[in-house]
């Protein structure tokens, strides 16, 4: 469990995310509607039912939808060199990651996407007192039943300390100094908006 942090920082206790998740989608506990099955084991994909607009073809479940506030550990696939001077903060660099584990969903559930990879962009240091690369994620791909699948996503990356952005060694006001985010480094991806997927 990672610490609660303020401002743009991320909390893995899910209090804020869970509130958004419940209020936006209207969760119904299926087990509560069938008391006879309350003592039976119910698969995580059937525990939550998320209501959709009337024009939708199928309901959102944990078999086809990752809700906002979910997160997953990911491994950096390639080294990226991040400029650490403030005058280079606007430069955008691509970052590639591979999910290390299942996606953790609010409520303690998990979703598995086979061979899932994430693409994102990182910008250099914008605060000399907090040398961190600000990184956002925009695409996820995974292996489905009929080949590779890809879908747009929104979210960001957080460091090992649970704080928004990837920690770097140092920062400077000007110059050509850089820091390298090494391949194999484990960081967390947080999904700020829910997204549908089809295996």
Compute the distance between CA of residue 138 and CA of residue 154 in angstroms, rounded to an integer. Answer: 5
Token pair for residue 167? Answer: 């920690």
User: Is 70 exceeded by the pLDDT of residue 155?
Assistant: yes
User: Is 90 exceeded by the pLDDT of residue 2?
Assistant: no
pLDDT at 25: 41
**Is residue 10 one of the residues assigned to a domain?**
no
43/192: higher pLDDT: 192
Are the beta carbons of 69 and 191 closer than 8 angstroms?
Answer: yes
How many domains does the structure of the chain reveal? Answer: 1
User: For all residues of the chain together, what is the average pLDDT?
Assistant: 76
Are the beta carbons of 123 and 159 closer than 8 angstroms?
Answer: no
- Read off the pLDDT of each residue in 36-49 and give the average, rounded to a whole number: 38
**Is residue 1 one of the residues assigned to a domain?**
no
**Is residue 3 one of the residues assigned to a domain?**
no
| pLDDT per position as a tens digit, 77-101 | 999 998 887 776 677 899 999 999 9
**Is residue 192 one of the residues assigned to a domain?**
yes
| Separation in Å, CA 56 to CA 50, 60, 162, 194 | 12, 9, 36, 16
**Is residue 130 one of the residues assigned to a domain?**
yes
| pLDDT per position as a tens digit, 97-153 | 999 999 999 999 999 999 999 999 998 887 778 889 999 999 999 998 888 999 999
């Amino acid at each position: 469990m990672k610490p609660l942090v303020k401002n743009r920082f991320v909390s893995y206790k899910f209090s804020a995310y869970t509130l958004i998740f419940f209020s936006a989608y209207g969760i119904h506990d299926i087990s509560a509607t069938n008391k006879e099955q309350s003592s039976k084991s119910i698969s995580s994909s059937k525990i939550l039912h998320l209501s959709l607009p009337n024009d939708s073809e199928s309901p959102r479940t944990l078999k086809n939808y990752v809700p906002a506030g979910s997160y997953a550990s990911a491994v950096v696939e390639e080294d990226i060199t991040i400029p650490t001077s403030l005058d280079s903060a606007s430069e955008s660099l691509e970052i590639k990651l591979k999910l290390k584990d299942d996606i953790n969903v609010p409520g303690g559930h998990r979703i598995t996407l086979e061979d899932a990879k994430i693409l994102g962009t990182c910008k250099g240091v914008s605060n000399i007192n907090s040398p961190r690369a600000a990184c956002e994620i925009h695409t996820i791909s995974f292996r489905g039943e009929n080949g590779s699948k890809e879908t747009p996503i929104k979210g960001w990356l957080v460091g090992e300390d649970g704080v928004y952005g990837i920690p770097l060694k140092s920062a400077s006001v000007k110059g050509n100094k850089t820091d390298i985010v090494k391949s194999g480094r484990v960081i967390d991806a947080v999904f700020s908006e829910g997204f549908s997927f089809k295996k």
